[in-house]
Structure 1
């Protein structure tokens, strides 16, 4: 029974990592940029929901706050690309990486300035609720995280492969000039991808906040999510989820069977091994570009 509890807990945490990793992959697939502020997007989405929901702030119903927070984070992602990142066009990828790292520091500072640095709990109707299966007691928040993550991953996978806009996004990522000549508005597509990544990060933040208290430092979970994205395969949406689940499961089992300190280092040890023996990840998607 302990093993099952560890499995479900690790699976729920892994799904949160997977959702953040999805944001990494979405942006990389479309723009070949790496957004190291993706974890901070998640943190900001969680705090926006908290600010809208908790009684000491706006006090809106939880189910009203959730779509508002998702839309606001989508708008934030769109405006970020349109106002800031477009000005980086032609710059090296290293410059974009440094910009997003700096953005992460700024977002954590702003969140701390508004909501403080002490842990705060989101007033969520699914927090503290249990679901029982025989002798197994599962948190409703953990079950919700797993279900929402799977549904969102499937929806995004079909969106990218079966809709005109999704195919246009993939075309823009593989050859921007050819996509432009085919009539695809490449700049607008990039902005929409950043909007989608912001919305997905908001979902991850809401689910994570429903599990317990949050503070601005949770944005640093993006580092583990980046490791998860690389482990799963950086260009693969299912790979992002798979990598997140693997990282999430490694942590509790390493802590339980080895020692508590090993839970933090094991994901990075696995990342090291993956980079050595399978550099493109478990579900590698390598595309050759014509030049």
Structure 2
């Protein structure tokens, strides 16, 4: 039972990371109807940026982390202004290829630094364990879960209790009507890309103490994308819950099924969900309320 609880906690923690990356997918898709395939690279870049500020420049981690997240958000906004905005009105494949190419450029830029390409690192926080009687849990897992809930609460407050958040929601629901009302749709698109990049960077920082900071850590987005699809690509709560669900199922599958089978679980569940619920599990909720 103790082993099962430890595996379950690990699954929830990695599922929270899946959920945050899925949130970044949904934030962008909901506002711009574009699937961004550079979210995993933004995740990796955010973790390496914090690592460079902390180890390279000697900044304290409590300062390096938010600066890295802010830098990722600024990068997302700049890429939208300079390149991605040109894909508006073009076939969807244009935006997909643009984001894929930009992601490869980010990956190549990091790979050009020998220390980043050849070594793995671990951000030095939440490295201890926490004991609850005979139950011992990794503090990094608890940190990830707690930080995810805080970020989800902050995003909910932003979308429901700030004017900018409400305008972004309105532009996401109906950009044409929002433009007729005089709301700044283009700026809201830029904000959506910035938020998506920042959330991906946060996911990278939370993943860093669970695994290691390395060039391939962004591949986790390939497992987070099914979580976004399970939520219908339009529901922020659906994306987060889909990520946690996939993380738990994957962890339990790794415990009870043969080695390697757990890596098939997200895609098997995705195929099953698309067959049963073509619009996504979160589509019904999204149709009733704007999130």
Alignment partner, residue 253 of structure 2: 254
Alignment partner, residue 134 of structure 1: 133
Alignment partner, residue 212 of structure 1: 211
Q: Displacement, 1:118?
A: 2.9
Structure 1: gaps (5+ residues): none
Partner SS for 1:132: strand
Q: Counterparts of 1:31 and 1:86 in 2: how far apart (Å)?
A: 10
Alignment partner, residue 44 of structure 1: 45
Alignment partner, residue 30 of structure 1: 31
RMSD: 1.5
Q: Displacement, 1:286?
A: 5.1
Structure 1 residue ranges, 4+ long, deviating more than 3 angstroms after superposition: 285-288
Tell me if structure 2 keeps the 8 A contact 1:108–1:219.
no
Q: Counterparts of 1:74 and 1:217 in 2: how far apart (Å)?
A: 21
Q: Displacement, 1:108?
A: 1.3
**More divergent stretch after superposition (256-265 vs 131-140):** 131-140
Tell me if structure 2 keeps the 8 A contact 1:234–1:240.
yes
Partner SS for 2:233: coil
Alignment partner, residue 12 of structure 1: 13
Partner SS for 1:60: coil
Q: Displacement, 1:177?
A: 2.1
Structure 2: gaps (5+ residues): none
Q: Counterparts of 1:112 and 1:135 in 2: how far apart (Å)?
A: 43
Residue by residue over 1:206-254, the C-alpha shift from the partner in whole angstroms, topping out at 9 and shown as x without a partner, is 1111223221111111111111111133111111111111111122211
Q: Displacement, 1:163?
A: 2.3
Alignment partner, residue 229 of structure 2: 230
Normalising by structure 2, report the TM-score. Answer: 0.93
Q: Displacement, 1:116?
A: 3.1
Show the 5 A alignment for 1:143-158: 143-158=142-157
Partner SS for 1:131: strand
Partner SS for 2:117: coil
Count of aligned positions: 285
Q: Counterparts of 1:118 and 1:227 in 2: how far apart (Å)?
A: 30
Q: Counterparts of 1:123 and 1:145 in 2: how far apart (Å)?
A: 13
Alignment partner, residue 80 of structure 1: 79
Alignment partner, residue 121 of structure 1: 121
Tell me if structure 2 keeps the 8 A contact 1:157–1:237.
no
Q: Displacement, 1:159?
A: 2.1
Tell me if structure 2 keeps the 8 A contact 1:229–1:244.
yes
Partner SS for 1:279: coil
